[in-house]
Amino acid sequence: MADLSVTMRCPMCAVVVTEWMPTDRCIVVWECTGCHAAIRPKPGDCCVYCSYGDKRCPFIQDDVACPDS
């Protein structure tokens, strides 16, 4: 089972926050609580957690297909 807590770092302002990842969808737009930028995944990543989190999303952790794919 995936570890659902994730520490996110904004690529625009470097603010760091900890949140819980959902298990029913990939998050493709994340609003930074520091600078309010709309952050999107890097090319090839399914979600913002995979791009900017300290761990991959639950789907990648559990080696299952993302619901959006």
The pLDDT score that the predictor gives to residue 5 is 96
Burial of residue 52 (number of CB atoms within 10 Å: 0-12, 13-18, 19+): buried
Q: pLDDT (tens digit, 9 = 90+) per residue, 35-62? A: 999 999 999 999 999 999 999 999 999 9
- pTM score, two decimals? 0.88
SS3 5: strand
Burial of residue 8 (number of CB atoms within 10 Å: 0-12, 13-18, 19+): buried
